[in-house]
Amino acid sequence: MKISFIRRDRASRWAMILAPILAFVGAIATSIILFTALGKDPALALYSLVLEPFLSWYNFSEILLKMAPLLLIAQGLAIGFRANVFNIGAEGQLVMGAIAASALPVWYPLGDSALMLPAMLLMGALGGMAWAAIAALFRTRFNANEILVTLMLTLIAVQILNYLLLGPWKDPKGFNFPQSVRFPDAALLPTLLPGTRVNISLLFAFVVSALCYVFMRHRFSGYQLLVGGLAPRAASYAGFSQSRAVWISLCIGGLCAGLAGAAEVSGPLGQLQRSVTLGYGYSAIIVAYLGGLNPLGIVLSAFVMSAIYIGGDNAMVSADLPIAAVWVFQGLLLTFYLAGLTFIRHRLIFLPSTRKAAP
C-alpha cells in the first residue's frame, strides 16, 4: 500500500477552514504531552493558556490590547509574503519605529503640543519603513537575500535600542534602569475602551486591515504583487516589475511594523524600554500564515495569537510555565498548520502496492 498526494482540480474550502482548527488541536495535544513530560500539571497549564484569557473582562481587554500590534504587523507582512518577498525582520522595524517615535518625547519631555502624538506616529511609521527600505535597496540593487538582510537588521536594531537605553536616552532619574523618561500625557495614545488599557491603536489595525483588503482585491498593483508571487515568470512577461514588488512589500511591511512600535511606546509602555521587543514581529509572521495570508483571516488569527500571549502570561503565574511555552506553542501551531495546508490543494490517495509480494 502506498499513500500519496494528488493535486486537486480546485482548492478545497473545507480544508481551508479545517486546517487552522486541526492545527490548533494538534498544537494543544503536543503541548499537553510536552508539559506533562516536564512535570507540569497539563490540565492547569491548558486551562490558563487557552480558557483563562476569556474568563474575565480584564483578560479579554488585554487580548484586544496585544491584538493591535500583531494585526497591524501581520497585515503588512502578508502583502509581502503573497508576493514571495520574505520580510522576517518586522521585529527590527518595530524597534526602529519605537525609537523614532520616542525621539520627540525624549527630547521634549515636557511637551504638551497636540501635534506631538501624530508626529510620533508618523515618525514611527517612517522609521520602520526606512529600516525595511535598507533591505529593499540591498535586494534590488545588490541582489542580497532579503530574509538574511532583514534578520541582520533586526539584530542591529536591538543593539541600537540597548545602546540608547543604557547611554544617551537613559532616564537620569530612572534608578539606572535601562529605560527612557516617562512620556508626557501629550505623547500617549487615548484609551479606546474606558477602564482598560486598550487604546486607539486597535482602530489603526482595523483600518489597515480594511485598506489591505481593498488593496489586494480591488487595486491593480495588488493584483500585480499577487501574480509576481505566484508566477514570477508570467509577471515579468506581463511587464510587472519585480523590484517594484520588493519595494512595495518591504515598505508597507516596515511602515506597519514601525507604526506598531510607535503605538507600543505611546500606549501600554508609556516610555521606551527593552520590553518593546517582545517578539511581536516574529509572532506576526505566524499570524500572517495562520490567517491564510488573507486580510480577513488575519484578523481572526491575530485575535487567537493574542489570546495565546495572554494565556502564556497567565500560565507563567498559575501553572509555573516559562514564557517560552508560548513560543513552543506558536511554533507547533505553524508547523501543524503548514502540514494541514497541503490538504487545501491536494488530496490523499491510497494506492495498492504496485510490486507483488514475494512468493
Partner 1 sequence: MNAIEFILAGMLAAATPMLLAALGELVVERTGVLNLGLEGMMALGAALGFITTYTYGSHLLGFGAAALGGAVLSLVFALVVLGFVANQVAAGLAIGILGTGLSSLFGKSFESLTITGLPKLALPLLSDVPVIGPTLFVQDIVVWLTLLFAVGLWAVLNHTKLGLMIRAVGENPHAARAIGFRVLTIRCLAIAFGGAMAGIAGAYASTVYTPLWADGMIAGRGWIALALVVFGTWQTGRIAFGAVLFGALSLGELVTQAGGVNIPSQILACVPYVVTILMLAVISSNRRRMRQNTVASLGQPFQP
Residues that bind partner 1 (CB under 8 A): 4-5, 34, 38, 86, 88, 138, 141-145, 147-149, 151-153, 155-156, 159-160, 162-163, 166-167, 282, 285-286, 289, 322, 324-332, 334-335, 338-339, 341-342, 346
Q: How far is the CB of 347 from partner 1 (least distance, A)?
A: 13
Q: Which is nearer to partner 1, 10 or 218 (CB)?
A: 10
Which three cell numbers mark 313? 502570561
Give min distance, CB of 208 to partner 1, in A.
22
Q: How far is the CB of 198 from partner 1 (least distance, A)?
A: 27
Angle, helix 220-230 to helix 242-264, in steps of 10 degrees: 110
Q: Provide φ and ψ at 353, rounded to 5°.
A: -60, 135
The nearest distance, CB 192 to partner 1, in angstroms, is 30
* Residue 176: CB minimum distance to partner 1, A: 16
**For residues 187 and 290, which CB has a smaller minimum distance to partner 1 in the complex?**
290
The answer to whether 354 and 76 are in contact (CB under 8 A) is no
Nearer to partner 1, 200 or 328 (CB): 328
Enter the DSSP assignment of 158: H
Residues 6 or more apart whose Cβ sits within 8 Å of residue 268: 65, 197, 199
Identity of residue 248 = I
Nearer to partner 1, 40 or 197 (CB): 40
Nearer to partner 1, 229 or 268 (CB): 229
Sheet strands (E) in the chain = 2-7, 346-351
Question: Count of alpha carbons within 13 Å of 212, Cβ hemisphere only?
Answer: 31
Nearer to partner 1, 23 or 260 (CB): 23
Cell 482602530 sits on residue: 203
Tell me how far CA of residue 159 lies from CA of 124, 154, 181, 277, in angstroms: 18, 9, 19, 11
State how far the Cα of 271 lies from the Cα of 105, in Å rounded to an integer: 9
- The least distance separating partner 1 from the CB of residue 52, rounded to whole angstroms, comes to 20
Nearer of residues 118 and 331 to partner 1, judged by Cβ: 331
Q: CA distances (Å), 95 to each of 119, 125, 209, 314, 335, in order?
A: 17, 11, 21, 26, 27
Minimum CB separation of residue 125 from partner 1 in Å reads 23
